[in-house]
Structure 1
Amino acid sequence: MYLMDSIVKNVGRDYIAAFAKNIVSTFVIVFDKVDENTRKSLYKLRSTWEDIFTSKKLYALDVRVNQVDPAWPIKPLPPNVNTASIHVNPKFLNKPEEPTTPVIPVPKPVPSRTMKPEVPKSHLSQEQLIRQQLLMKQKQLLELQQKKLELELEQTKAQLVSNVLQVHLNDAP
């Protein structure tokens, strides 16, 4: 891992793209085979890759390592909503504003295949209880992330409406 790290940091160019193809699986395989102190070192190593690999690639790496070691933190993906890049169709600007906002249906989260039906707690081992709690927390996290995205979408819509109104006000004589 340190050799790959040295190459991408010191040589860069084509090697970053080449190593990025397999960085997640390679990292997870190495992480799975090493002791706790080496895992800490791998975490430090991974934290230096923010400017080298894409945030999507690092997020995938974090998710996969977290499956091996639930203590591994998952850095969330940055929001990629850029208000400067929103383009409005001129035909849309000339439409009269509708009094109600259409409701966009949001798909409900699908339970993961690893979730098991509720089992009486007396029959569960400590590890099974922890795993079940972890799955419940992950589900809650996904629901919260979904709500956050919905709120960001609503904020973006409101900003878009505000921008449209501002354009109309600026164009008015």
Structure 2
Amino acid sequence: MRQPPVNRIARDAIKAWKISAAIAEGVLWFITIALFVLAFMFEFSYWYGAAAVLISGISTFFFVFLLPKLRWRRWRYELFEQEIYIQHGILIVSRTLVPMIRVQHVDTKQGPILKKYKLASVEISTAATTHEIPALLEEDASELRDRISALARVDEDDV
């Protein structure tokens, strides 16, 4: 079996993922509070509200505090002349090889949360799908994008 890739994504990815998860969990907590208020107004059993609070609490712990660290530990990538090797996943580890000859274009993207931590993601597009290497430092993402583009161009010239 092939050795795992050696390059990791930026450690600040954990912070960015925590913020993204906290925003999503904020929506869940809003719904939970609304359920609690409705239960009070219409004199339903408080068990519904208590169950919603318990579920929201467990969900917040899992998605905001536990999952980002686990995701960061598993995310790895490596660039070779003929292929890009990407590994990610927590319970089910996915190892993907993207042949350079199949690369159509490479993009970097950066939302407001990634921009706050000076991170960017690299998207590698093939005819079949798009692969993403998330949360690299801006400079590393630009360098990786340019290097993949150059290697993909070389492969096209060889064909």
User: So what's the TM-score if we normalise by structure 2?
Assistant: 0.29
More strand as a share of residues: 2
Whose helix fraction is larger, Structure 1's or Structure 2's? 1
TM-score by length of 1: 0.27
- Name the structure, 1 or 2, with higher relative contact order (CA <8 Å, separation 6+): 2
Structure exhibiting the larger radius of gyration computed from Cα positions: 1
